[in-house]
Amino acid sequence: MSSSYTVQLTESKGSSAWKPSAILNTADNGATITTGANEAENLRQIQKAGRQLDNLGLKQVDLLGENWSLERQWAFHKGFMDTRSTNQVNWANHDAEALARLQQLADVSNWTRELINLPPNAIYPESLAQRVIEKLSAVAGDAINATIIKGDELLEQGWIGIHSVGRASQKDPVMLVLDYNPSGDASAPTAAALVGKGITFDSGGYSIKSSEGMLAMKCDMGGAATVAGAMALAIQAGLQKRVQLILCCAENLIDGSAYKLGDILTYKNGLTVEIVNTDAEGRLVLADGLLKAGEIGAELIIDAATLTGAAQVAVGNEYNALFSVDDELATQSLQFAAEHNELLWRLPLQNWHKKNCPSAFADTANSRPQKGGGAGGASNAAGFLLNFAPRDGQGWLHFDIAAAYHNQANAMYAAGATAHGIRTIAQHLLTI
């Protein structure tokens, strides 16, 4: 067998030895993938073929032929890449710009996936912040300035959500504020702020998860990794506007100092929040991040979080869910997602969703005391965040990233993180 295993695209069905329905035909030294008239379906089938070749034990392939567009090559890469990102795809021979874009995508996607897949003994709030600083400094050099606020400093500065969620852990909770300012002008306006949920492990707190439900909770910092990856991708693509990254990082654990059901938190904007579910912690830390974005004065604010199981129930594992009260901005986001072949679906959010988690003892509760937050749980969580979004939610997008992580391998992805969503968010930064 040749040391080089090639993969080519064809529009013909190939040898009669294969069933007419076969998309992937394999031989000793190479494989062919059959394409059709529907390009969206072609991309799905190419990604599935990549997954099948990884399952066969291949670790390196060469893409050959003229039919490999950038999007087709990227679809194959998503399917072929194994959980630990050890497989290698040698791109088809195209122009230098396309090859550079593909390599940037691969590098940032693999970094994002690896960060999410790391075990919780390796990733805790401060180590997550440090890894993000190292990556973005490597990409942007002196244009990066980072500030870490941790432990009781959070409480002193009023970041009550992050501190409350993370105070029971031996690892200090952290807010990372990373400023990318390519102009070097300290007075330059911040064009955008990215806010990420960085719960490096989520036990559920006193609303404790089952063992099965807790096993994958290293992925609960997927929002932080996704916005960090999007920022790195945009910088590599030539981003020239000032953007700040705000990561809200904590371990949601249990001891005698942990926050409890019935506690009432008072946020910097004066809003009081009754805790009715300690497993609805992501929105508590994101509230601090949104308030910080408001202090910065960013025109565009995007947050990303593995926030609710309700979003996953609504859109499945293939789509991310989008929430916004800014219709023009939401439409733009759906367009960007379609252009980059990242499945995204808008779910309902209205101003009245802010009141959908009522409390008799505070301005609002952090959820409803029902399984999954009750009916419309994902919209109610987004409505909670809307209480903290500047300008009544104009210029704000909330991504509930249901497609960011798969507990088990499937026909499209290896087990673990997917990095789904980084291209859409990066495109927002590149068009501000």
State both tokens at 204. Answer: 């559920």
Rounded to whole angstroms, how far apart are CA atoms 406 and 149? 31
CB atoms inside a 10 Å sphere around CB 50: 28
CB atoms inside a 10 Å sphere around CB 297: 11
Of these residues, 78, 283, 368, 423, which one is catalytic? 283
**Judging by DSSP bridges, how do beta strands 174-180 and 144-150 pair with one another?**
antiparallel
Catalytic annotation on 209?
Answer: yes
CA distances from 232 to 46, 137, 226 (A): 27, 9, 10
Give me the residues paired with residue 90 across strands: 62
List own/partner pairs for 272-275 with CB under 8 A and 24 or more apart. Answer: 272/362, 272/363, 272/364, 273/359, 273/362, 273/363, 273/364, 273/365, 273/366, 274/359, 274/361, 274/362, 274/364, 274/365, 274/366, 275/365, 275/366
Residue of 81, 76, 75, 78 whose CA lies nearest to 58 = 81
Q: What is the DSSP string of 250-291?
A: EEE--STTS--TT-EEE-TTS-EEE-S-TT--HHHHHHHHHH
Of these residues, 13, 209, 268, 346, which one is catalytic? 209
Dihedral angle sign, alpha carbons of residues 317, 132, 383, 251: positive
Catalytic annotation on 354?
Answer: no
Radius of gyration for the chain, computed over Cα atoms and rounded to the nearest angstrom: 22
Rounded to whole angstroms, how far apart are CA atoms 117 and 222? 9
Catalytic residues, by residue number, are 209, 283
